Amino acid sequence: MTTTAALGGGGDGELRGITVRLNGRTAVITGGSSGIGEATARRFVAEGAEVLIADLAFDRAQALAKELGDAAFAVACDVRREAEVAAVAKAALDRWGHVDILVNNAGSELNRTYDETTVEEWDRVLDTDLKGPWLMCKHIVPSMVQRGQGSVVNISSLNGLVGFPLSTAYGSAKGGLVVFTKDLAIELAATGVRINCVCPGVIQTPMMERWTALMPDQEEAKEMLRNTMPVGRMGRPDEIAGAILFFASDDSTLCQGSILSVDGGFVAQ
């Protein structure tokens, strides 16, 4: 039997009628308090899941969890630090006994030339965007393997597929995450655990706002970003959440190591 939930009034970004595809599932979402992570947490709860929102911005994560009700709780986490990642895994397993879905969404951006990038900046971006997903997998995936099921969704970027100026650190991390997804997918192929990757294009998120705030002409920068997308607009976080839901759900049971571009046609050019 198909179960549906009616949410919102059908305007842009609202969910009018959705199938509850994650009923009874549990999910850990890193960077889950804003942007794509927040949209994913909201969508997962609407689809019947319980979620752990792991975020460095703990107050914001707590506020979102409170809004989402009993289906959500928050844990402070810097994904660069193994002890904090291990604490997230413990919190999830103590509460639920297992984790069905892991969404590695936490990220750190940088727009700087290769020769002006400091070692500290390079390490921050690589540690957050690449080491962080590896640490989360290290501490959560073994319990999935033991159960013989689970889904990991890594959030890379358009920058992980094509080159851009001022993007050596960020692009290296996101490109590494694409290959990490493929490598781990082969390693896990016979275990029942799936790992796939979503590569968003230009999405209207707080990260994008921070980037445009650095530009001399913010409106010109936003117009340039809109024109990057062949569809003529930036994407919405909920549109990326829909792609993440696909990989998290049973709709993608044959996907293993798949890389999905959600970029308004950019890589199709």
* Cα atoms in the 13 Å half-sphere on the side-chain side of 191: 20
CA 35 to chain centre: 9
Residue 224's alpha-carbon distances to 228, 231, 266, in angstroms, are 6, 13, 14
Coil, strand or helix at 123: helix
Helix axes 218-228, 206-213, angle to 10 degrees: 130
Residue 100's alpha-carbon distances to 131, 140, 211, 223, in angstroms, are 21, 10, 34, 40
Residue 247 burial (10 A CB sphere; 0-12, 13-18, 19+):
buried
114 part of the active site: no
CATH number of 4-200+235-259: 3.40.50.720
Confirm if 240 and 207 have CB atoms less than 8 A apart.
no
Coil, strand or helix at 3: coil
pTM over 0.75: yes
Conformational region of residue 203, where left means phi above 0, alpha means psi within -120 to 50, and beta covers everything else: beta
Q: Which of 44, 134, 170, 246 is catalytic?
A: 170
Tell me the domain boundaries of the chain. 4-200+235-259
Angle at Cα 29 formed by Cα 68 and Cα 132, nearest 5°? 150
Instruction: Output the pLDDT for position 13.
Output: 42
Per-residue pLDDT in tens (0 to 9) along the chain, 269 residues: 334 443 433 334 445 455 689 999 999 999 999 999 999 999 999 999 999 999 999 999 999 999 999 999 999 999 999 999 999 999 999 999 999 999 999 999 888 999 999 999 999 999 999 999 999 999 999 999 999 999 999 999 999 999 988 889 999 999 999 999 999 999 999 999 999 999 999 898 877 776 666 666 778 767 777 778 899 998 999 999 999 999 999 999 999 999 999 999 999 99
